[in-house]
Amino acid sequence: MPERRAVRRLAGVACVLLAAGVSGVWAQGGAAPAAPPAPRPKMAPSVAPTYQVDLMTREGVAVFGGQWRAMDAQIVEGLPRPNAGPWKASWDLQPKAAAADFDDSSWPVIDAPTLVTDRRGGGGAFMTWYRLALTIPPKIGAFDPTGAIVVFHIVVDDYAEVAVNGQIPRQVGRPSGNMIVGFNMPNRAVLSEAVQPGDRFQIAVLGINGPIALAPLNPVFIREARVEFFK
């Protein structure tokens, strides 16, 4: 028995040393641990919604206890990826406002009816964040949302990416309503396939001026935003 305990202690020490060695490799520029895979995208229904709520109105935002906030994004220089060869820098996006727990309380509040006229940015390679939290109520007028498929629909001039609760569903070779879908085309992100009252969704939209290769002197703004329910 004492011999077995000694072996277990030695095995434990070996594991700690191995972990430290692996961490040292990462710190010295080796391969970093792989990020967890993104959720697979779910396609929104192509039929007309059973019910919808306009998020470009104060009344519509109030249904979900939400509040639009916005802040411009900046591209900043960072450290290069491991084994980047001659490349000595990376280019990061700040703030990282896609995170579900990101604190946007200091951001300016945008009145919902002004979203279409709030032309943001001086043009060029410009990006801006919009954030909105939605909590599903037990009833919306006479409509009961329980069990419905829920879709967040938004059209940003010119492109957008949509994070929901910190996730951007995507898969190689498949379309995703959370990713850029086209020039002034609607992003339709599935929030739930069977929603329940009280479910909360933190939405973060990155609005992008485009075409990116041309970097035109145009603003970014929201053309449409709504929540669609399908039963």
Of 193, 221, 172, residue with least CA distance to 72: 221
Strand duo 90-94 + 74-78: pairing: antiparallel
The pLDDT tens digits of the residues spanning 119-165 come to 999 999 999 999 999 999 999 999 999 999 999 999 999 999 999 99
The pLDDT tens digits of the residues spanning 25-49 come to 333 444 555 677 888 999 999 999 9
Quote the CA–CA distance of 143 and 219 in Å, as a whole number.
Answer: 37
- Greatest C-alpha distance within the chain: 77
For the whole model, what pTM was predicted? 0.83
Task: Give the pLDDT confidence score for residue 34 in this predicted structure.
Answer: 65
Can you tell me which residue has the tokens 């009961």?
144
